[in-house]
Amino acid sequence: MSETGRLETMEPNPVWVEDAYADTVDLLAHYRTELEYHVWGGDWCKDCRAQLPDFGAALKTAEIPESRIHHYPTEKEDDGSKTGPGVEEYGIEYIPTVVVEKDGEEIARFVEEERVPIAVYLADEIRAAL
């Protein structure tokens, strides 16, 4: 975990159904020591509260080391822009955003919402990249 704090919304969902995502978990587990996960979110954000607990559960089930999961608590300014650690460096405009890196290079990015859960979306992107 990064030094920037911890997102409570990344606490794994206790009722997440692992069996429904076996392929996703297998892929994440396969690369558990090779990839870094950078997660921007806000405990105040409804999208983050809806999506990040399941992502946290997928990472936990895949046994991703905590040292490879970096939390970046983000605040929302009056104009809607986001502020917080790494926001400018990574070009974060919407949350949740998850950036996956291998050897310091971005290989996948989830931004705000997709038609599938975060873990499934990223697993597909990782599969395509590697």
CA distance linking residue 126 with residue 13, whole number of Å: 23
In the CATH scheme, what is the homologous superfamily, with its name and number, of domain 8-129?
A: Glutaredoxin (3.40.30.10)
Q: What is the pLDDT of residues 100-128, one digit of tens each?
A: 999 999 999 999 999 999 999 999 999 99
Q: With helix as H, strand as E and coil as C, how does 115-126 read?
A: CCCHHHHHHHHH
Q: Kindly tell me if the per-residue pLDDT of 17 is higher than 50.
A: yes
Q: Is residue 13 a contact partner of residue 51, using CB atoms and an 8 Å limit?
A: no
Q: What is the pLDDT of residues 24-38, one digit of tens each?
A: 999 999 999 999 999
State the average pLDDT over residues 70-85. 93
- Sequence-distant (6+) residues with CB within 8 A of 46 are none
What local confidence, expressed as pLDDT, does residue 4 receive? Answer: 60
Task: Decide which of 2 and 112 is more confident.
Answer: 112
pTM for this prediction: 0.94
